[in-house]
Structure 1
Amino acid sequence: MLSYPIPTNEAAPEGSRATLAAVEKAWGFAPNLMRTFANSPAVLEGAWALLTAFSKTRFTPAEQQLISLAISVENECGYCAAAHSLMGKGAGLTAAELDAARAGQPLLSPRHEALRRFATVVTATRGNPGASDIDAFLAAGYDATAILEVMLGVATKTLMNYTDHVAHVPLDTAFKATAWTAELKTGR
């Protein structure tokens, strides 16, 4: 099995140190996935740029976390599903919403469910949602710009989910209480 170092700031390549410091400043710590990216300054910089751009979308912090969680569940990424479960709670998603999203099941809020479902469909179809999927998303009150912003979320999480699949990044202590495995996904 392939294994990547999870470097400290001091052990990271020189080109990754400033970005790791920015991550720590923004989040209070640099998660193991970001430290894994630090093995390549270009990948770390790109991942951080994607995350920063996604944080500037018109979606609320709770919606951003719901999108990220839905994508991570669809891609069966335990690391990211755990992280976004914790961050989703902090952003205001309810326990019921988190439980449903983690299981791949519908949410009670029609608007949040439309968002979860659309992010899931875009991920599952590799960016090819059907006309009925787009129509349902728009009917829930979202617009064409929101579709582009969901696509940004999918691009961001695809990099992160796929990296975890290859690197088998150890779950940070902060995320262990919200650990997730594909067996929890019932909405297949």
Structure 2
Amino acid sequence: MLHFPLPTAESAPEASRATLAAVEKAWGFAPNLMRTFANSPAVVQGAWGLLNAFEQSSFSPAERQLVMIAASVENACGYCAAGHSLMGRGAGLSETQVAALRAGEPLNNARLEALRSFTVTVVAKRGYASDEDLQRFLAHGYTPTQVLEVVLGVAAKTLTNYVDHIASVPLDDAFKTAAWSPADRKAA
């Protein structure tokens, strides 16, 4: 495992500074994962671009956070599961829904469960969703465009989850109340 410095908008490589400043402006601070990305201008710009693109998807804020939590749990990323659990609550997911997502359990809402299940399928099958998987998702009122948007969300989380796995990024104090470990997920 590598340990990367956690640069600030002032100490990051020159080409990373504007992106870190944009993160701080948007979120009120630059989380340690984004600061880790800033060691590479290409990575911080790519991650920020993917995250911002996903924000433009047709999903509601709660649905977007659901995708982020489900992908992070499936990828066993404690850092991202913690951060997105807090953001999910802020976006309108209930405590019960966040707890189910973190445990890898079905949700109590059929439409949201279809989104959770499809997201997990995309991660677990590395994008090789079957026709049955696709039809099950679409049957709950989602669109073919939203199939693509789930893949976008999974792409963003794959980048962030994998960097955290390699770098073992320290959890920010702001996320510690929502700390999560892969051991918290129920056996599939």
Q: Deviations over 1:11-54 (max 9, x none)?
A: 11011111001001111111000000000011101110000100
How many angstroms apart in 2 are the aligned matches of 1:92 and 1:138?
23
How many angstroms apart in 1 are the aligned matches of 2:37 and 2:4?
9
Q: Structure 2: where are the runs of 5+ without partners?
A: none
For the 8 Å contact 1:32–1:172, the answer to whether it is kept is yes
Q: Structure 1: where are the runs of 5+ without partners?
A: none
1:75 deviates by: 0.2
Indicate the residue corresponding to 1:4 in structure 2.
4
Indicate the residue corresponding to 1:159 in structure 2.
159
Indicate the residue corresponding to 1:175 in structure 2.
175
Q: Deviations over 1:98-136 (max 9, x none)?
A: 000000000000010000000000000000111111110
1:70 deviates by: 0.2
For the 8 Å contact 1:73–1:102, the answer to whether it is kept is yes
Matched ranges for 1:1-188 at <5 A: 1-188=1-188
How many angstroms apart in 1 are the aligned matches of 2:183 and 2:131?
31
Alignment size in residue pairs: 188
For the 8 Å contact 1:105–1:187, the answer to whether it is kept is no
The letter of the residue matching 1:37 is F
Match of 1:8, SS state, is coil
How many angstroms apart in 2 are the aligned matches of 1:131 and 1:8?
46
For the 8 Å contact 2:63–2:112, the answer to whether it is kept is yes
Displaced runs of 4 or more, over 4 A: none
Distance change in 2, residues 1:147/1:187 (3 Å): farther
How many angstroms apart in 2 are the aligned matches of 1:187 and 1:25?
39
Over aligned residues, Cα RMSD in angstroms?
0.7
Structure-1-length-normalised TM-score: 0.99
The letter of the residue matching 2:185 is K
1:187 deviates by: 4.4
